[in-house]
Amino acid sequence: MVVGLDIGTSFIRVAIGAENDDGVFEIAGIARQKSAGLRNGVIVNIEDAMNAIRETVAVAEQNAGMEVSSCFTAIGGTQIESFNQRGTVAVTPPGKALRAITHQNIEQVIANANAIFIPLDREMLHVIAQNYIVDGVGGIRQPLNMQAARLEAEVHIITASRTTIQNVRSCVTRLGYALDGVMLKTLAAAQAVMHEDEMEVGSILIDLGAGTTDVLVFLHGAPICSFSIPVGGNLVTNDISIVKGIPTSVAEKLKVESGCCWMPSVSEDREVIIGGVGGRAPEQTTQSALCEIIQPRVEEIFKMVARIVAQKINYTQLSGNIILTGGGAEMAGIVELAEDLFGQDMVRLGTPEHLGGTDDYRRPEYATLIGLIMAQKDAARGKGSAKNKKIQSPEKGENFFKRLIHSFF
């Protein structure tokens, strides 16, 4: 049995995966409950967060008919920082005949790339090998057994706030569960919804959450850029609340049930009823009037993402897709709006693959959760056995996720 826990700003999600009587792995139970004690993806009240997690796990246990003892979780938001780094190691001493690159050389070069100062308030989450350079020749995925004098490695390093990780660990362990590991949420989502060829040619994953929007850019099979912006679906809800003069709870329901962010696909005559609040009679509006509030805010989010990506990398390197995940990706018109703003028609929703059991999780909002299950399943079966290891050497022919180096807990 493997368990994924996605602690989001709006919802806590839990999935339980296990082998059925036929030995086939499937999703045995899934649950989603309103979140509490979080703001913009960060725990601000441990007791409230614990209660929300406890309730969600209990529902998942009931649905699966199993008892949870440990879980794997993900974190994201603006407390995440990342950067690219390079390390070098001598394979052959000066004046000696060339030697073959060994597993030890590969582990050492990644360790050298990782040998940087990390502030005391931060903790290393992932160190991901992007590319190897053998005697000045780059673009090498697997340098093992190649003859060389010098080996270099380019890696993507992701760090997180130590306080954030400790608070997540505290919530889980105080509830009596073991914390198997912590993963960057966009990495988990990518495992569930992205294809290897998309990672190879250069693609952008955008996770549209309630409190934050998290972005991960892949090229040549590995991440080259990851960041988060502190805006998400809650700002859209707040705009509706202010313009219409209604509570945020009513505005959220209005957004989910009738919201659309692409005016060309809206029928101007479609009527939308706003429920009565505080003794007031119900009001009537139109979906087009609602879209006039929603679309500018979603456009602003996408423009912020595009601007930051352009600052960090060269857009011309990317020829793949833009994949949208998270609860915000389920809004009507989101794909069309993204295609218009990014100037391409290669935008799609990130829907997790079918793992058996119920199909309820095959929605963009469950991408991170299902990615956690897939990552933990692979680790449990030894395919990505990085547990309790700082360095994991790549094997021939493996994809990015088998080359991923986790810092597990």
Q: CB 314: neighbour CB atoms within 10 A?
A: 10
Encoded tokens for 25 = 């792995």
State residue 13's pLDDT score. Answer: 97
**Sign of dihedral through CA atoms 233, 239, 242, 245?**
negative
Q: From CA 315, how far away is CA 317, in angstroms rounded?
A: 5
**Residues 6+ away with beta carbon under 8 Å from 152:** 86, 87, 88, 89, 109, 132, 133, 134
Mean pLDDT of the 297-326 span: 94
Pairing status of strand 147-148 against strand 222-229: unpaired
State residue 236's pLDDT score. Answer: 96
Q: From CA 76, how far away is CA 160, in angstroms rounded?
A: 8
State residue 401's pLDDT score. Answer: 54
The answer on pLDDT for 404 being more than 60 is no
State residue 405's pLDDT score. Answer: 39
Of 43-47, 144-148, 392-396, the range with the lowest mean pLDDT is 392-396
